[in-house]
Amino acid sequence: MDYVSIPEERLGVLIGPGGGTKRRIENRGNVKLDIEGNSVCVSGEGVNAWRARDVVQAIGRGFNPDYAILLFNEDYVFELVNLGDFGTEKAWSRLRGRVIGEGGRSKRFIEKASGAALSVYGKTIAFVGAYDDVHLAREAVAMLLSGAKHGSVRRFMERENKRRFEEKE
């Protein structure tokens, strides 16, 4: 049994119209979700209970439920970066802005170049995708949060994608 706290404004998304999203997670993971306030208790056995917890966390961190449910796929992972690791609360807005970029360009580039999805929400940045994709996206975000220039991060990702492509050949 695991407990997950999610923001109150995301509870409706977790439950879904007529409770449909909640039922879908319960059925897919063979788990039971009990919601009290903003705390969600995930009861179940095995790896699917662990994955259901990640699905609930992903929805809580701003992901669309249809995308978050992909975490039941064994190739997908969920990771979270806390902005508190990179600066004080006063700096969080600036840090979020660095990751999102003007008009969302930086976030879109990282998602396209890595293959992982990002959600910038509150004091966190969340990632969903295949392990290697999430690793690359997380590294790019960490570079931005540590002050690297956007152009440097872009070149880094292009080099990494070239290396990844050559490894597949």
The pLDDT tens digits of the residues spanning 63-73 come to 999 999 999 99
Instruction: Classify residue 74 by its DSSP letter.
Output: T
Provide the CB-side half-sphere exposure for 137 (13 A, CA). 32
Question: What is the average per-residue pLDDT within 144-168?
Answer: 91
Domains 2-72 and 76-168 share a fold: yes
Residue 11 pLDDT level (bands cut at 50, 70, 90): very high
The pLDDT tens digits of the residues spanning 101-140 come to 999 999 999 999 999 999 999 999 999 999 999 999 999 9
| CATH of the structural domain 76-168, one choice from 3.30.1370.10, 3.40.50.1820, 2.40.30.10, 3.40.190.10 | 3.30.1370.10
Could you state, in order of their start, the residue ranges of all structural domains in the chain? 2-72, 76-168
The pLDDT tens digits of the residues spanning 28-37 come to 999 999 999 9
- The dihedral of CA 135, 158, 93, 6: what is its sign? negative
For the chain, give the mean pLDDT.
94
- Domain 2-72 indexed as CATH 3.30.1370.10: yes
Residue 88 pLDDT level (bands cut at 50, 70, 90): confident
Residue 89 pLDDT level (bands cut at 50, 70, 90): confident
**Nearest 5°: CA angle at 78, between 32 and 130?**
120
Strands 76-82 and 124-130, by their bridges, are: antiparallel
Number of helices followed by number of strands (H, E) in the chain: 8, 6
Looking at residue 164, what is its pLDDT? 84
